[in-house]
Amino acid sequence: MKYETIMGLEVHVELATKSKLFCACSTEFGSDVNENVCPVCAGMPGTSPMVNRKAIELAITAGLLTNSEISPRITFDKKNYFYPDLPAGYQLTQLFAPICKNGWVEIETDAGKKKINLVQIHLEEDAGKLIHDDWMDTTLIDFNRASVPLIEIVTRPDFRSAEEVVAFLEKLRSLLSFADVSDCKMQEGSMRCDINLSVREKGSDKLGTRTEIKNMNSLKAIAAAISYESQRHIDALETGEEVLVQETRRWDDSIGATFSMRGKEDATDYRYCPDPDIMPVFIDDEWIDAVRSNLPETAQDKFIRLTQKLGLPEYDSEIITRSKNLSTIFDETLQYYNNPKEVANWIIVELLSIAKGDNKGEDDVRIDCQKFAKLIELVDGRTINRNVGKKILSLILEEGIDPVEYVEKNKLGMINDTSLISSTIQEVLSENPKALEEYKAGSKKVHGFFVGQIMRKLGGKANPQIINKLLTEALKEI
């Protein structure tokens, strides 16, 4: 490979606070348009920004998780420009005194481990949302998202491949979601990534022309955009047909290409200046220590605990620790029924497959863990069989039934009565002479057919192990 691609990232992460950064409006996702707006975040004059303490704490948390230096005194600055989603005509951000500096994140790819260095992390407020209506030739503005707290994580240009970028974003998501800093959902916009990219000949120490790419809404889109854009740079360098210009480009996922945004952002003079209404926020060691001691278990530590302390296989632990939501379900359910292997198995095999059927991913599935635990106990304790258990799981998810009550009411207890099972076996064998002939002829799969029929006659409630044992014995005697 003659060329290498060099990249740095600017990642915006929405903090998981209940209220906005500078006012008490709710940050709840999915609220009705313009319901969470007040004079402050609507840009009315005569209002005062009031700093949200939790937002600072979550930024401190992000700093601790990324091994950053945390500034003891932070201030906020105005970044001035006009755009309809910006109510005050300026965005409050941190240019002069960002909250964190010089952190790093370790990633692992097929090539091994690598340290990605961060320039800084700073707090800033989000802008409103624009909806473009080409039919009416109009743009509609919803200010619900205006002033929602964000942290912007700026990396050094340490990335050399799309694989590294994806690994970093996944690691970041794991760190921040497990610490409840943010749910980091790219599809919902709570994590957004802009990439600064340039290409140069391997061995050269000069940096090529840099372009910024925006508007990638998934990891897949990021990989595709990196691939496209680095090739575009290489083509330009090789053929000279296109001249590379330092600019911002927008990724269009439907077309699979980047398009110039006409350098609009580079031309703007933002006239940064300190905001004199917001006094400095002081962060002392006491506060940092308090945040550090309250840090939830990281995905990495959880993986170690699950495999080493609880003896779960690595495969299971990996799946569970991939999602904060699944980890939480696992931990909570375990509190009610302490069988890690069974709980893990039910989550990974049954819960996730039902969720998939409902088009819910590992981050969205929700369940009453106490009921879930009861169900697992019922199956593990052989009160009901697994098939019945699966059906009840669906009912817990859909209707929130209590499994113990439901089993009692509907008499779903597992049938262990060997004489009843034996007589049912005899019934089935005599009713299916053709199948019996096939069995005698050597077909093994007929066994399964018989089991199915027996189970059906017993209302699906029979103990499968007992059926198998008695059926095998019965067939031997034939």
Q: Applying CB under 8 A, which residues contact another protein? A: 17-19, 23-28, 32-39, 42-56, 75, 78, 80, 82-84, 87-90, 130-134, 137-143, 250, 261, 269, 271-282
Query: 282 vs 315, which CB is nearer to another protein?
Result: 282
| In the complex, least distance from residue 278 CB atom to another protein, rounded to whole angstroms | 6
Q: Are 79 and 90 in contact (CB under 8 A)?
A: yes
| In the complex, least distance from residue 247 CB atom to another protein, rounded to whole angstroms | 14
Query: 78 vs 200, which CB is nearer to another protein?
Result: 78
d(CA 29, CA 267): 34
Query: 31 vs 307, which CB is nearer to another protein?
Result: 31
| In the complex, least distance from residue 326 CB atom to another protein, rounded to whole angstroms | 26
C-alpha to C-alpha distances, 161 to 170, 180, 223, 250, nearest whole angstrom: 14, 29, 9, 19
d(CA 19, CA 328): 24
Query: 201 vs 266, which CB is nearer to another protein?
Result: 266
Residue 106 CB contacts under 8 Å (≥ 6 apart), including other chains: 113, 114, 115, 116, 171
d(CA 457, CA 217): 52
Query: 20 vs 200, which CB is nearer to another protein?
Result: 20
| In the complex, least distance from residue 153 CB atom to another protein, rounded to whole angstroms | 21
Q: How many CA atoms lie within 13 A of 425 on its CB side?
A: 25
- Torsion angle of the four alpha carbons 80, 83, 86, 91, in this order, in degrees rounded to the nearest 10: -20
| In the complex, least distance from residue 140 CB atom to another protein, rounded to whole angstroms | 4
State whether residue 181 is helix, strand or coil.
Answer: coil
Residue type, 217: N
Q: Are 125 and 146 in contact (CB under 8 A)?
A: yes
| In the complex, least distance from residue 220 CB atom to another protein, rounded to whole angstroms | 22
Query: 144 vs 463, which CB is nearer to another protein?
Result: 144
